[in-house]
Structure 1
Amino acid sequence: MSNPFAEDEGPQPPQILKTAVEIQANLRLLLDNHIPLLIRFAERNQRYQTYLVEISREKGWIAFDELIPSDGERLMASAEPFQVEGYYEGVRIAWNNGHPVHRDELDGAPCYWAHLPDQILYHQRRNAYRAPLSAQPVAVELSGKSIKKPLKGKVLDMSATGCKLSFPGDLQNSLQAGQVYENLSAKLPFGTITTAAELRHVVFDEKLDLTFCGMRFYRIGGLTQRQVERFVYQLQREARRDQAGRFS
């Protein structure tokens, strides 16, 4: 089983959080923001998706939603150890569970109670400002030698070093983390940029029927880099102006 506490590449080194306050605060981010979680069982390649649905600080338990695909519930019931990971605003939050998990119901829906982890990995994978693009959607196309047909989607946010994309449907089996894709083309307001990009992580949200991809620009050219930085700076300036207006 891979170890989520292993050293990982990134702008900042990973941290191991061990205090109850730190652990619960980060789990609360995953819960409150309905962040999709990936579960991998020991010695198995299949990945399962779930969500945190409850945190009981007093009892020392957390509750997971049902697993997708559903055959993961059999592995839960057999008490196989597993790893959990989720991404929140560029931060990877991960932990291991080696304790038995108990099936139950929460508000009339099935759930699985597991022990609160005694430590979690907190890894800030980027240190550049990442600007959200909710107000002005940007179309994107991803293609390369390993993609049979170009994928069309949207840019959700962008920084000087990478971006977050969304594509319709489930592409988890079509895309591979660590793979460099030769062409990522985004239609920015002042022109289209094209660069190679490395896929850092991929998550499918079944409820939204969308695949979310974290990308890091790979060997980006000087002119393209300046265009990206100009665009991000413009968004950052607008966000600050809007924030100042709300508090004036």
Structure 2
Amino acid sequence: MSSLFLDEEGPQPPKLLTAPLEIYANLRPLIDNNTPLTLRFHERSQRYQTFLVEMNRETGWIALDELIPNDGERFLLQGETFHIEGFHEGARVSWTNDEKAHLGEIDGARCYWIPAPAELTYHQRRNAYRAQLKEPAVTAQLGGAALRKALEGRLLDISATGCKLSIKGNQQASLQTGQVYELSARLSIGTIQTAVELRHLVIDEKLDASLCGLRFHRLSGLTQRQIERLVYQLQRDARRETAESPFG
């Protein structure tokens, strides 16, 4: 078995954050990266999508975007307890709210103000550095026996253990978490082809895209070394850019 799947590369124990500074520091990337959040009311099975759109440390309140689907608004305003979670850079961030939401508006768009969480669960699910893939766009294709036809997409980031793929449209009917697919991606090191397991699937209604969290499955030794070299190079480039930035 590949060394990528040994225990030391596995998830770390969840951390319960209670210091306001830590909580806000881990909420900020959710805003900056427009990270989709999943919201579920405790007494209901329906899952809703939203985004964190604002934080006010002075008042201790944070703002959520409108819910998708929007029938969840009345439950928010009635004060029903809900759980919310999001994934960023391989970490799961989650908290529970049992306070009533207050309807507001930011830049002409509806939002819901709720108290900032007093406790935030932070779960780093992998150790591997995840390199962002910016320009030029990295095209990729997801296929295999489980799909009627291959799906075209764009690779957003990559690590030694997996990658994130954005595919146009809502692909919930086509893709199944836990299923193994075939990935082909045109990287700067050349085209790689490998099996991948779909670990997470998030539908971004605003971007009309399906965001797929993929874990490499039974990588060949050659492909593994190619990916590790690429990630290492991208990590060095990112560090150099940070060091050269006047705001770094």
TM-score clears 0.5: yes
What is the deviation of 1:143? Answer: 2.1
**Relative to 1, partners in 2 of residues 1:32 and 1:139: Cα closer, same or farther, differing over 3 Å?**
closer
What is the deviation of 1:90? Answer: 2.1
2:3 matched to which residue of 1? none
Residues 15 and 123, structure 2, Cα contact 8 Å, conserved in 1: yes
2:93 matched to which residue of 1? 93
Residues 164 and 211, structure 2, Cα contact 8 Å, conserved in 1: yes
**Relative to 1, partners in 2 of residues 1:41 and 1:143: Cα closer, same or farther, differing over 3 Å?**
farther
Q: Distance in 2 between matches of 1:57 and 1:187?
A: 43
Q: Distance in 1 between matches of 2:83 and 2:31?
A: 17
2:179 matched to which residue of 1? 180
1:3 matched to which residue of 2? none
Moved more, 201-210 or 160-169: 201-210
1:231 matched to which residue of 2? 230
2:146 matched to which residue of 1? 146
One-letter amino acid matched to 1:55? M
C-alpha distance after superposition, 1:82-109 (max 9, x if no partner): 2111222222211112222222333443
Matches within 5 A, 1:1-248: 10-177=10-177, 179-242=178-241
C-alpha distance after superposition, 1:3-32 (max 9, x if no partner): xxxxxx943222110111111221222223
What is the deviation of 1:165? Answer: 1.0
**Relative to 1, partners in 2 of residues 1:26 and 1:233: Cα closer, same or farther, differing over 3 Å?**
closer
C-alpha distance after superposition, 1:99-132 (max 9, x if no partner): 2222233344322121221111111222122222
One-letter amino acid matched to 1:129? Y
**Relative to 1, partners in 2 of residues 1:238 and 1:117: Cα closer, same or farther, differing over 3 Å?**
closer
What is the deviation of 1:181? Answer: 1.9
Q: Distance in 1 between matches of 2:15 and 2:244?
A: 36
Counterpart secondary structure, 2:76? helix
One-letter amino acid matched to 1:131? A
**Relative to 1, partners in 2 of residues 1:184 and 1:104: Cα closer, same or farther, differing over 3 Å?**
same
Q: Distance in 2 between matches of 1:41 and 1:161?
A: 33
**Relative to 1, partners in 2 of residues 1:98 and 1:240: Cα closer, same or farther, differing over 3 Å?**
closer
What is the deviation of 1:40? Answer: 1.8
What is the deviation of 1:134? Answer: 0.7
What is the deviation of 1:147? Answer: 2.6
Q: Distance in 1 between matches of 2:232 and 2:32?
A: 29
**Relative to 1, partners in 2 of residues 1:74 and 1:246: Cα closer, same or farther, differing over 3 Å?**
closer
Taking only aligned residues, the RMSD between alpha carbons, in angstroms, comes to: 2.4
C-alpha distance after superposition, 1:188-222 (max 9, x if no partner): 33432222222222222222222222211122222
Counterpart secondary structure, 1:163? strand
Structure 2 unaligned segments of length 5 or more: list them. 1-8
One-letter amino acid matched to 1:183? E
Residues 180 and 218, structure 1, Cα contact 8 Å, conserved in 2: no
Structure 1 unaligned segments of length 5 or more: list them. 1-8
One-letter amino acid matched to 1:208? L
Task: Give the aligned length.
Answer: 238
C-alpha distance after superposition, 1:33-55 (max 9, x if no partner): 33221112224343221112222
Counterpart secondary structure, 1:160? coil
Q: Distance in 1 between matches of 2:83 and 2:130?
A: 28
**Relative to 1, partners in 2 of residues 1:244 and 1:23: Cα closer, same or farther, differing over 3 Å?**
closer
Residues 146 and 181, structure 2, Cα contact 8 Å, conserved in 1: no
Q: Distance in 2 between matches of 1:241 and 1:54?
A: 31
**Relative to 1, partners in 2 of residues 1:202 and 1:238: Cα closer, same or farther, differing over 3 Å?**
same
What is the deviation of 1:155? Answer: 1.0
